[in-house]
Structure 1
């Protein structure tokens, strides 16, 4: 740039151009650039402060959760000890640990701690919560015996009826280790406060103003807020568990930036504070330097300014990178860094390929060789992928054994060649092994040619391609599927189903399977759910996941629902006429019916045609229907009840369920989705299930658990007083004749 300006001056012979004008121009330009630089620096400071706050918040939250888990473990252990051994056991448990003391609380709220007098703690909020079944930590430092500290309390669920809660006390000096994070060369620091502003922990940093026991009082007295935020709004945010940033002055000129963040599992707040003016002086020095070297020309000034910004930015970015951008296992990009690189390239968009890659059956490696060797495999895979990437291509480990790759290559053939080469590189180590152990890859590719697509959409399409097996010929070490292939095949498949569906309905290719519902009180079958399958002469048995979504999209589901309902009525009529045991059958109601007023009248006509008693019919509404139009749904449920049918909510918990909405919908039966039971030994999940069952009972609803596959799950649900179970543990969905055989002798499916 300097060269161009100098050439223009020579060519136009502007030797007489006023030095004063040049100086004014440079000063004005320097001023504008300096202001821009301040904005950039402020943004970087805020971003850095947010990263530090997140890290510190995570560390504090983890420590709180660890303390809760420790007390909960002790609580469970007491159930196996004699009462005489409690005190010694708890004393040994906290000796040398984070807790200064640990004691038990009886049902009267009396705290018992070894070497301490009995203490009434029934009015301590966190203890009261624990006595009522909720883990809790004090919202401020409490003085139980001699000093103030943090009080943790968890409920006691053992057999000893004399104990209600386990309580532990941690002194402030022990907790201060959580606030040893300083930043900006030791000038940044953090506090932890309660909602009312009382200090839980305060920094010992020399720049921290500690005056009294309440941060908000000190802040109001000594701080002058310079941002648009008001002190009242700041206090409201603290009270309402919101996070934010505020800038203020101390002693008239010490500008500081404060980020406030609520902590999980407690009513505490993390405050992170840094001096906002740290970089301002450097910028001022730069301006002086720019004026001093005016003779060297505009290019030199710009160069120094840019170099300064790069220096300060790189310095902070290096700290942020170490915290947030480096994967701890591969030492490569984290997902955050990967997405940032992609977003940066979106400004100058060029087509690219997004690849979702994972290692098939990686869990076997962890199970067979241990997680440490599993991590070595992940590092090996990362290095091999990285080796085959061009300069401006990159890879990240998203989670576990799942990797995302950004490639410039957009030719499908070349993409396959590159992925085959990566697979060969990963498995090359087998050449030196007598017994090879191959690591095959599953790859989903999406070629991005439209810069308007959001990153989350791009990633989802690549993931869909990876997870879908479309029988495309593949190299044995790398299964590669392109999203475009899926779209094309889906369109062909949907067109084929569209051509077949009317004929299939006319020729009764849609058949009904019944899955039993078993009472946990009697152990006997009390009903069933009608599930539809498509038995095509050309395609064989087609599962519902392949055709139901398409039928919902083209509204054919309405005809199919009516067909299923009529077949169910025929089955019930047959059982009644033959004098067999008759149980209610539930049928699913698609959301498409909601757009057709009075559709239930058609159901009523079919029921009356076959003279089916009302009590044998149950209508199931999926959770998604419930949340689409609540008012309309309440009207429909009233209509269902008017006809004498029962109404159930299916798949509760599969989406964004709300316990609050249960009181709004007068269903008779609540069916808990299999998602609640996908993880064994999930204490939090079990607590949620128990809460839902209890709430449903209070609202007069029956509860049925779906997708149950193991006897321990049955026993757990029985202890929670769930009414019935529907799942493979008793029977998979079976044809009608098999169901009739199953129920003909009214057998007990389980011992009660």
Structure 2
């Protein structure tokens, strides 16, 4: 609805209503006129009787008609006036309405313009509000980060005076904000950095705008600690420095972790000595330095004799303590003379001797140190109630004559160590070029030995044991031999150490035991007088947890009575783990098996343990028999015989090769003899012939016996 319509329509409606009433009245008059005409026509038809009445009525009608006509004319005039008024009003209304429409258009255009402007202003205001909120959020976040940060934050003015710190900075340094405000951070310096350090730091800050690095500071508690510090310069719009911001991280835990990682990576967890990795790095650097400065190095590789046997017999906890004892002892007797003592792994330790100018010096000093180690580590030690006899074997290699690279030196010193062990242990040996050939042969034999059993290259010989007074054969000792298809007959002294080192001694030893027992029972089945079958037990065999069960099963499989089996162990084996030896020997003795200690006099024996071992036979080592020609040696052998008899043991002398030796042994009460003077080791068929001749009373001539 327009504005003109809003103001004039009520009047227009009124006029229209009045005009409508006029039309209604005119319509009514016309209707009355029609009624009168009808009535007049009707009266005429009825006659004169009604004439008078009709005339009266006609007169009245004419009067009324005149009135009506007059009223009609008035109504027409009113109608015309109304129509004129209505037209005037309509025209006026239209004009006013057009004006209102025009005004409305301009007004609406202005309103739209203002609305657009207000909308734009509103959008700008909303954007400013959002930006302000974002800035406020950032400020709030920055404040929260500042206080909640785990890194210490310190803010100074342009003169490096502290104006703010966060809580983490207090936690790290121990200083509160009140104690720091206005102070220069230099009051927390540790004294571990010189002036040059700080000069370089500030030069970087002032030129590059930042610096970061590790720094050592001092806490309020006076503790010096490592930290990682980052400093940035804050500049205004014209590039002037207004503040410095430092972020500090306490690296104490990281340093401790790094030290722990370094300890785990470079040091042996058990002994605390440098490990193989650190030793190799140190040796590599020493080689480079020796090349550069033209001097020499000596490398000693130390191995604990029989360590695996200690582990097998007494368990790894005892073995670990032996290693710790050895490491501590080496450190005690060698530091600070040697630059490095390390544990390479297992029971191997190494000593590096550095910075010697002449090879004579290197060899002499290496020999002196090796001798000192051997002498100091050649004794009994009690660990967890077990008396253990320690000894070592040492290989020595010299740079540069035995190798100019780390791998070559380590290989050659290992070869030298093996040769030292192979030559009787408790000794040292310098590497020689011939050792390389020996090492190659040893490796070849070790590989071939793995197939020797299944290829039936191994066989047994038997060396008779004679009663001294009657010279009758009372028993035999089973001795293993190896007939290699390429290398020929290989000495037990060559392949037995290889078998022990590789672990093949276990199946080989069990094969020897079963083969010997079966042969002994077979001779009994042939009707020969039963013989005492002697079998040597290796260290690894003796230390097997199920040794007793294995022996019982062998006896059951071969049907040999335990009374006809004699087991021999070496003196060093018996004394190495004496406590366990006593227990094992006691069980074997209860089964009826005879027990002997072999190579007596070559090791370290305790008379108290010899008594506890409850042995049947003591075998004097061939080295004493060979030198029995002198008075002192006769006295020594005689003392051994008397001691053994005093402990209720019989005595066997090994290695009897001359009549003089035999006569002296018999004269001094030796019970049995064994050696080349009578018989060398014989194969089964020759022993069978020998036994047959003994049964018939005709001993075979020694010179005609076949032997190996």
Query: By the TM > 0.5 criterion, same fold?
Result: no
**TM-score normalized by the length of structure 2:** 0.40
Query: In terms of Rg, which structure is larger?
Result: 2
TM-score normalised per structure 1: 0.38
